[in-house]
A = this chain, B = another copy of it.
Amino acid sequence: MISRRFFVSLASAASLVLVTPAFAQGDPLPSWNDGAAKRSIVAFVEKVTRPGSPDFVPPAERIATFDNDGTLWCEQPVPVQLYFALDRVKALAPQHPEWKTQEPFASMLRGDFKAALAGGDHAVLDLMLTTHAGMTTVEFEKIVRDWIATARHPGTGKLFTEMTYQPMVELLAYLKTNGFRNFIVSGGGIEFMRPWTEKAYGIPPEQVIGSSIKTKFEMRDGKPVLLRLAELNFNDDRAGKPVAINQHIGRWPIAAFGNSRGDKEMLEYTQGGAGARFMLLVLHDDAAREYAYGPALGLPDVALGAFPQALYEQAKKDGWTVVSMKDDWKQIFAAPK
């Protein structure tokens, strides 16, 4: 049913059929089971893209915003950027003998994330500022590129970029094919994501929004550089997400996708605009294939990436789609690229 409706919809847009005939004839979301979540996505896309639809939205205004950690790729047992920070701590440790006794570094060096994160947001910020600053933006980009090319998840042994979610990668492509522009709006570091999001998600650097540290322009040996400073610029989480969306895009999203408490305000903001809107939360309920946590499942919540009961109730009340990874997704992780 869905694939036929989708085909008819595409067939009416001659240029799309011309460009992507193979895609138009297949299911654009093959890794999604045919349930309410998938149907809600397709119904939304069809009503905002069908010419003459009362909910039609011009392509320029088809802005979709995606959280990254836990929404587009795995963020357990800790977000990927913390593994990057750990490797940076190890690399920098010889220059910092004081880290042997100083938290959160001492715990990081022992590989004890739980103890390192016991210091809360302050500990995370301290780690980020210490390990992500002191070089130029170009130097940092190379450090990230080199790291992401080889770093692997301790549980699965996969490259982290192989732990992007195949159904979400398909969703990004489906939206893009339908004239949407997809933006990442993540609590993670903007410069940590930009080097690899285009390859992993088809999202170019100018469509990546994230947390950031300050940079400073200077001429060095006659060449311009941006030096990364150990000072927070913006924390792109919770109420920061709508602020950053407005600052970067200057348009109101019509669709927003998240998975945790940090995404609540982004979804509320998206829902508050005039016209058709779509909000979705990914529920991590698949202990066999990924992770399962949170009170909605009767399980303890996680420290980073929590999905509290109140968020689950808000989603139900406000008509947000809640995706069960276990029931809605045929496949979890993307194939290697």
Write the residues of chain A forming the contact surface with B, with a CB cutoff of 8 angstroms: 60, 137, 190-191, 194, 204-206, 208, 212, 214-219, 223-226, 233, 239-243, 246-251, 265, 268-269, 271-272
A248 touches B206 (CB 8 A): yes
Instruction: Enumerate chain B residues within 8 angstroms of A137, measured Cβ to Cβ.
Output: 246
Known pairs A216-B239, A224-B272, A226-B242 / 6 extra A-B pairs, C-beta < 8 Å: A215-B246, A215-B247, A224-B269, A224-B271, A226-B243, A248-B248
Complex alpha-carbon distance, A190 and B249, angstroms: 11
Contact of A251 among B191, B205, B224, B268 (CB under 8 A): B205
Contact of A265 among B215, B217, B242 (CB under 8 A): B217
Instruction: Enumerate chain B residues within 8 angstroms of A246, measured Cβ to Cβ.
Output: 137, 215, 226
Instruction: Enumerate chain B residues within 8 angstroms of A248, measured Cβ to Cβ.
Output: 206, 248
Instruction: Enumerate chain B residues within 8 angstroms of A250, measured Cβ to Cβ.
Output: 190-191, 194, 205-206, 208
Q: Which residue of B lies closest to A271 (CB)?
A: B224
Instruction: Enumerate chain B residues within 8 angstroms of A191, measured Cβ to Cβ.
Output: 250
Known: A224-B268, A224-B269. A212 touches B247 (CB 8 A): yes
Q: Which residue of B lies closest to A241 (CB)?
A: B217
Instruction: Enumerate chain B residues within 8 angstroms of A241, measured Cβ to Cβ.
Output: 217
Complex alpha-carbon distance, A14 and B249, angstroms: 32
Complex alpha-carbon distance, A193 and B137, angstroms: 28
Q: Which residue of B lies closest to A220 (CB)?
A: B272
Contact of A272 among B190, B212, B223, B269 (CB under 8 A): B223
